[in-house]
């Protein structure tokens, strides 16, 4: 069984490292991107199982990156989860509209993060299984 691969897109290195460490500790394989544009490029090369993306990034916001990813057939079905410090309803709504699977608010507890990511993966897997049935 291959390790589940998570792509993290986060422009702040400290947060990116914390997220990466938390997920590796939780048993995931982690690849990192420093901005939205890089996330779109890396996703197509790495084909991760899930993309964890900050909303506010230079060069391309998380929303913009998500919109682009959803328009590319090879990566369209990869679930996107947004990390956001702002829990405003409008922002969450916007994320859902561009195709996000879930929203995780910063700050988060590291062990909680791995658990939330796993919960999203399980939900997506169940949905896939149901659509095949």
64: domain CATH number is 3.40.50.2300
Question: Per-residue pLDDT tens for 44-57?
Answer: 999 999 999 999 88
* Domain of 14, in residue numbers: 5-132
CA distances from 27 to 69, 77, 85, 90, 122 (A): 25, 22, 25, 33, 15
**Which residue bears the tokens 């149901």?**
130
Determine the pLDDT at residue 86: 66
Tell how far CA 59 is from the center of its chain.
Answer: 18
pTM recorded for the entire structure: 0.92
Based on the structure, what is the number of domains in the chain?
1
């Amino acid at each position: 069984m291959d390790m589940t691969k998570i792509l993290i897109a986060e422009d702040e290195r400290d947060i990116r490292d914390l997220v990466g460490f938390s997920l590796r500790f939780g048993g995931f394989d982690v690849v990192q991107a420093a901005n939205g544009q890089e996330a779109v490029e890396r996703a197509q090369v790495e084909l991760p199982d899930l993309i964890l993306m900050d909303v506010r990034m230079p060069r391309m916001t998380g929303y913009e990156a998500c919109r682009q990813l959803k328009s590319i057939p090879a990566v369209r079905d990869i679930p996107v989860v947004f990390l956001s410090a702002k829990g405003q309803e409008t922002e969450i709504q916007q994320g859902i509209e561009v195709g996000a699977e879930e929203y995780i608010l910063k700050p988060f507890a590291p062990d909680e993060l791995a658990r939330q990511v796993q919960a999203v993966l399980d939900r997506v897997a169940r949905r896939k299984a149901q659509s095949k049935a």
